Amino acid sequence: MSASRKLAVPFAIAALAAAPAAAKEAAAPELVRCAAPIGSVALVEGDQAGWSAWGLGSPRTLIAALAQESGCFTIDNPADAAPAKFLVTLIAGSQEEVDKGMELAKGAATEALVRSGAASGLLRGVPMGGAVLGMFGGLGGKKKTVAAALRVVSPANGLTIASGQGVVTKSSINFGGSSWASGAANAAGYGASKDGKLLTEAFVVAFNALVAQRSLMEGAAEPAAAQTASGAVVAVDTVLRAAASRDAASVRALRAGTTLTPTGKREGLFVEMKDSFGTTGWVSVEDLR
């Protein structure tokens, strides 16, 4: 296998598992299980917050419940000194909205994996994972869809490591009794709402697709304190902001290549930085390298 093809494989696998997986009526998704956690995660709400339009609260409690029930992730404690290994962004909305938010694309490397059958081997053991392979043509139709996605970002370098997406038109999970599904949905306040149940199922499918990329996450760089103490470089033209939000006021513009020094404070995807003049503000880790 050529060097270029070897490099393409991990990114193609991530694109495959990120593609929207449909929950089939005849086969309700079962939450994936892990013998050991992949790592700790800090949960962050993305810009596409479709749950608000459906009268629902934040899905962070739902994802935390899925992480605990599956045993696949531990939830970061912001009070301790150890940083989370991963930042997980949560988004939801219509399929089109979530597709745009995730910036999915079917590249040549992904197509090659589909033809070779390598992708089906990767996803074979994951509940609902095989449904990913049939989704590249789009769902089509005019039915209302509820879509959800999870994107894993490395705090060490701001790079997206893995992502998973789920699209649901009709709930197939049994939310009755004291099942794991009802427990997770009720913890988030979703159990009494039709849209809440649809969104729960979409996030379950997305979560399973994410765990299918375990090998990519296990190979990610550790967010070691020694690395951040030495400084960071701005990767793209961006803005130093007054608070940890993309909507916060601009303190100053930052050009790609600018060196910044971390103060040690972090909040979700944002870290507080100081420039060479002593000006302090917040920058998304996605804008740093």
* Strand stretches in the chain, DSSP E: 20-22, 39-49, 73-75, 86-93, 146-153, 160-168, 232-233, 238-241, 250-254, 259-267, 270-274, 280-284
b/e per residue, 133-158, with b = 16+ CB within 10 A?
A: bebeeeeeeeeebbbbbbbbbbbbbb
| Mean pLDDT of the 123-138 span | 38
Backbone angles phi, psi at 10, to 5 degrees: -60, -40
What is the per-residue pLDDT for 226? 37
What is the per-residue pLDDT for 121? 42
DSSP lists the bridge partners of residue 151 as: 89, 163
Residue 258 has pLDDT above 70, yes or no: yes
Residue 279 has pLDDT above 50, yes or no: yes
What three-state secondary structure class fits 40? strand
Q: Which one of 90-99, 107-116, 151-160 scores highest in mean pLDDT?
A: 90-99
Residue 137 has pLDDT above 60, yes or no: no
pLDDT digits (tens, 9 = 90+) for 51-73: 998 899 999 999 999 999 999 99
Residue 206 has pLDDT above 90, yes or no: yes
Q: Yes or no: say if 250 and 240 are a contact pair by the CB < 8 Å rule.
A: yes
Q: What pTM, to 2 d.p., does this model score?
A: 0.62
Q: Domains, the chain, ranges and CATH? A: 3-218 (no CATH), 225-287 (2.30.30.40)
What is the per-residue pLDDT for 153? 84
What is the per-residue pLDDT for 202? 93
Which residue type occupies 239?
V
Residue 81 has pLDDT above 80, yes or no: no
Q: Which one of 14-18, 43-47, 130-134, 192-196 scores highest in mean pLDDT?
A: 192-196
More confident site: 149 or 98: 149
